[in-house]
Homo-oligomer: A and B are copies of this chain.
């Protein structure tokens, strides 16, 4: 019986290949799931090169998916929501660690008609359906403001590690899409990824404290990979800096190790962030043995299968 099962009093899950935060030593193991779930016969929305790149590196940048007028609409909605206090559930607002500025709004596909439409857009949802091999839903969504001057760094992490331990996502069959609403430059804290890291899984050290999410959305201390594991992943894959213009879409696998540096530049680094999960991979009891995190962070009850919508958004 595993330590977690003993602690939580739950029946053991002997076959969990992604156990984490239970031992005193970190460990790197191989991924036990596919990266691309489409069968090779499928006619998909991506080129063969794009699919191969995504499968090999765990990330893919796509420019030109949206027209300038569409991007302008997303930016206008970002600015509107910043001050639309009466439309936004205060629980979904995350403030920068120094308490000065808005960092993120969660559950935007539930709180903004425009971003609900964007999440269902065929250009995004169609890609997610293809790579994840079938029907998908939004596991998590947010607007990231990452303000200029005092935007803080976000340390390396695999989203899946947290989603598995704290939310009960069973397997690696989810992916994230970040739609840039400002230019991403080398100096405004762009997304950094370790290519190839999605093929390994880093078991992290230490137990999860109660109500961990209240801190971890601002600054994570548990579920953090150890420096030795990171150096090994870095030695193999290096770091890719995801620069690009507003409107660029960056896809990355749920287990790709990523993070970002601080942003002292005057230029904010804002984006829409959408996580698609396969309906075959819906959340169960969290594997870490603690109560699940709130609905606005990890869709559980409000699950809605996406029906992709074609055509322009504006």
Residues on A close to B: CB < 8 A? 149, 152-156, 185-187, 189-190, 192, 227, 230-231, 234, 239, 241, 243, 259-267
A227 near B149 with CB under 8 A, answer yes
Q: A262: which of B149, B156, B231, B261 is its contact (CB, 8 Å)?
A: B261
Residues on B with beta carbons closer than 8 Å to the beta carbon of A230: 149, 266
Majority SS at the chain A contact face: loop
Closest B residue by C-beta to A149: B227
Residues on B with beta carbons closer than 8 Å to the beta carbon of A186: 186, 190, 241, 243
B265 near A234 with CB under 8 A, answer yes
Residues on B with beta carbons closer than 8 Å to the beta carbon of A264: 153-156, 192, 259-261
Can you list 18 A-B pairs, Cβ within 8 angstroms, ordered by A? A152-B262, A153-B153, A155-B264, A156-B264, A186-B186, A186-B241, A186-B243, A187-B192, A187-B261, A230-B266, A231-B266, A234-B266, A234-B267, A239-B265, A260-B264, A261-B262, A261-B263, A261-B264
Minimum CB–CB distance from A290 to chain B (whole Å) comes to 27
Number of copies of this protein chain within its complex: 2
Minimum CB–CB distance from A301 to chain B (whole Å) comes to 35
Closest B residue by C-beta to A239: B187
Minimum CB–CB distance from A216 to chain B (whole Å) comes to 16
Closest B residue by C-beta to A227: B149
Minimum CB–CB distance from A149 to chain B (whole Å) comes to 6
B153 near A262 with CB under 8 A, answer yes
B156 near A192 with CB under 8 A, answer no
Q: Bound complex: CA of A302 vs CA of B263, how far in Å?
A: 38
Q: Bound complex: CA of A154 vs CA of B152, how far in Å?
A: 12
Minimum CB–CB distance from A218 to chain B (whole Å) comes to 15
Residues on B with beta carbons closer than 8 Å to the beta carbon of A241: 186-187
Closest 9 CB pairs of A and B: A186-B186, A262-B262, A153-B262, A261-B261, A186-B241, A231-B266, A261-B262, A234-B266, A187-B239
Residues on B with beta carbons closer than 8 Å to the beta carbon of A149: 227, 230
Residues on B with beta carbons closer than 8 Å to the beta carbon of A239: 185, 187, 265
Q: Bound complex: CA of A263 vs CA of B261, how far in Å?
A: 6
Q: Bound complex: CA of A156 vs CA of B150, how far in Å?
A: 11
Minimum CB–CB distance from A37 to chain B (whole Å) comes to 31
Q: Bound complex: CA of A12 vs CA of B192, how far in Å?
A: 52
Residues on B with beta carbons closer than 8 Å to the beta carbon of A154: 264
Residues on B with beta carbons closer than 8 Å to the beta carbon of A187: 192, 239, 241, 261
A265 near B192 with CB under 8 A, answer yes
Closest B residue by C-beta to A152: B262
